[in-house]
Amino acid sequence: MSEQSSAQVEPVDLVDRVAKVLWEQADDEVGWDATLSLVAGGDAYLKMQVDWCRESARLAIEVCGQQSSEREAKLTAEIDRLLEVRTLVAKLWCASGCSCCRDDTARNAASAALGDLFDVPKYEDGSGYDWYAIRDAAATQASGGSDES
């Protein structure tokens, strides 16, 4: 058999394997292989059922492929976000030295980027991000609702 050139078309053997599973789950009297023999012998009604089963298999494979692609895209986005967080935390940490060697500009930029990334609320006066609100909410949640930060 020649390979299919379109990414949309699944290899025949994969479609037939899935179709066989679908068929045998629905009909345990006549197995897939025996049904294919009857179709080869000219049974038009069974041919229509086999074609329907193969089309169902193709659609099932297509849906699984789409769901897999969607999951992969979400996972990739989350990994990218995690790598961004890692980089921003490193920048924030490196810029947060003592008062003689601290780089306030780099620290503020990293803090703002992290604040935006995590939707951290800003102080009412706009002077920065309220990281304490996030810390306190996390501590409250971790302690089961009592506020002991």
- pLDDT for 124 equals 92
- pLDDT for 1 equals 40
Q: pLDDT for 60-70, tens place per residue?
A: 888 887 778 78
Q: Taking the complete model, does pTM exceed 0.85, yes or no? A: no
- pLDDT for 147 equals 53
Question: Distances from the Cα of 77 to the Cαs of 70, 89, 109, 137, 138, in angstroms?
Answer: 11, 18, 22, 26, 24
The two tokens of residue 113 are 């980027």
- pLDDT for 6 equals 42
Q: pLDDT for 71-120, tens place per residue?
A: 888 888 888 888 788 777 777 777 777 777 788 888 888 888 888 888 88
Percent of the residues in the chain that have a pLDDT greater than 90, as a whole number: 3
Q: pLDDT for 15-52, tens place per residue?
A: 888 888 888 777 657 778 888 888 888 888 788 888 88
The two tokens of residue 43 are 């049974």
Whether residue 85 contacts residue 117, with contact meaning beta carbons closer than 8 Å, is answered with yes
Residues 6 or more apart in contact with residue 139 via CB below 8 angstroms:
147, 148, 149
Q: pLDDT for 134-147, tens place per residue?
A: 888 878 877 876 55
- pLDDT for 125 equals 94
